[in-house]
Amino acid sequence: ANMQSVNVKSSKLTRGVGRRTTCRAPTRVAASGNGANNEIPAAWPGTAALPEGYTKRTTPKPISILGCTGSIGTQTLDICREHPESFEVKALSAGSNVELLVEQIKEFKPELVSIKETKVGELKEALGAFKSELGGYAPEIVAGVEGMCEVAAFPSIEATVTGIVGCAGLQPTVAAIEAGKDICLANKETLIAGGPFILPLAKKNGIHILPADSEHSALFQCIQGLPEGGLRRIILTASGGAFRDWDAKKLKDAKVSDALKHPNWDMGKKITIDSATLMNKGLEVIEAHYLYGTSYDDIEIVIHPQSIIHSMVETADSSVLAQLGWPDMRLPILYTLSWPERQATSEVTWPRLDFIKMGDLTFRTPDHEKYPSMKIAYAAGRAG
């Protein structure tokens, strides 16, 4: 009774004009093999340039966020909170964290909200308790996979941030691409599992795939303005994860709590676990292949314990370009949101890199016996 003004739509109900989205599983195309496959267009084939006809923005960029209560989602909202003049949240999608979602709804007042189907009633009840505080405002609520697709393809947005973990982010990403929305890609499984389908679809619909991983954002920043054929090699840096300084013989005694203690980064649980085994780095090799069209022979991994250099590219003339910064996931997220511009930030909330404080930068060769997952990922990528 308290929430009569909140509309809830099931995935089976008829959508409004301009709101029809299609969630469908991708089809598989030819494997990519060892080198760049000409049949699969890279998102950024060795270079990145300003979009044709681009002019500087004068209004906030409207966005939606998939996985708004997770690590990527909350950090994206931190950015939107600090820069309301630059970014406007139009739609949010969450899993089951009703309490946090309610707080986000109250603050950002999105037009559309999606949540897990079994949590719709709880969300309605929670919002009902704040009816007087919300005044006449009430978001439209959708649910399930179709609901996520609606958030991803919301008509008034320009880009969607894909912060959902795993292959669950694939179908909403397809919906966003087919609706002509740019993808702020924080869900690496989208390309690893669906690259041969996603990349031609992105090209067909004329949208940009903007990487939000720190490593791929670093590479993306390094290739800005490179001439055709200018990229020779990709060098992905890895912190080494929670077990970086462990003797391999002690790994049999490791606990989940140990694996979750990343030495440098504050991330979600899955990616922190994958970082502990360096499986995450192996997956990033496959993602780099699809993003930049680089042969697997020309993608290398180096252990960099300080996590200051986020990745590097070697150019055709043997120069090496690197992107540096404190280990803060907000930085790559901000770049995906603001590209091709650079958002001015406060020195208070975004500390500048201090080279004296930073100290030494060191590098190690990856230990493939301790971390066999990297070779597995290379083999899987080459096999397609």
pLDDT at 38: 52
pLDDT at 268: 73
The DSSP call for residue 364 is B
The DSSP call for residue 366 is -
Contact 92, 101 (CB under 8 A): yes
Q: How far apart are CA 301 and CA 311, in angstroms?
A: 9
pLDDT digits over 87-133, tens only? 999 999 999 999 999 999 999 999 999 999 999 999 999 999 998 88
Contact 42, 295 (CB under 8 A): no
pLDDT digits over 321-364, tens only? 999 999 999 999 999 999 999 999 999 999 999 999 888 999 99
Average pLDDT over residues 291-299: 97
pLDDT at 328: 94
Q: Cα angle at 161 between 159 and 166, to 5 degrees?
A: 140
- The residues pairing with 161 across neighbouring beta strands, listed in sequence order, are 65, 184
pLDDT band at 45 (very low <50, low <70, confident <90, very high): very high
* The two three-digit tokens of residue 203, written as one number: 């090209």
| Number of neighbours of residue 105 by Cβ within 10 angstroms | 24
3-state secondary structure of 257: helix
pLDDT at 271: 72
Helix axes 170-178, 189-205, angle to 10 degrees: 10
pLDDT digits over 54-69, tens only? 999 999 999 999 999 9
Return the higher-pLDDT residue of 281 and 253: 281
Determine the residue type at 161: V
pLDDT digits over 173-198, tens only? 999 999 999 999 999 889 999 999 99
The DSSP call for residue 249 is G
Average pLDDT over residues 279-283: 91
* The two three-digit tokens of residue 316, written as one number: 């055709």
Q: How far apart are CA 133 and CA 246, in angstroms?
A: 52
pLDDT at 4: 35
Contact 9, 140 (CB under 8 A): yes
The closest of 75, 77, 93 to 332, measured between CA atoms, is: 75
Q: How far apart are CA 25 and CA 188, in angstroms?
A: 17
How many residues can be counted in the chain? 384
Q: How far apart are CA 309 and CA 321, in angstroms?
A: 10
Contact 24, 48 (CB under 8 A): no
The DSSP call for residue 335 is H
The closest of 212, 204, 221 to 66, measured between CA atoms, is: 212
- The residues pairing with 380 across neighbouring beta strands, listed in sequence order, are none
- Helix (H) / strand (E) containing 75: helix 71-82
Average pLDDT score over the chain: 88
Of the candidate ranges 53-67, 242-256, 268-282, 317-331, the one whose mean pLDDT is the lowest: 242-256
What Rg, from alpha-carbon coordinates, does the chain have? 21
pLDDT at 243: 72
159 torsion bin: left (phi>0), alpha (psi -120 to 50), beta (else): beta
Sequence-ordered list of residues with C-beta below 8 angstroms from that of 383, at least 6 positions apart, any chain:
31
| Number of neighbours of residue 78 by Cβ within 10 angstroms | 15
Q: How far apart are CA 197 and CA 40, in angstroms?
A: 8
The backbone torsions φ and ψ at residue 90, rounded to the nearest 5 degrees and listed phi first, read: -100, -30
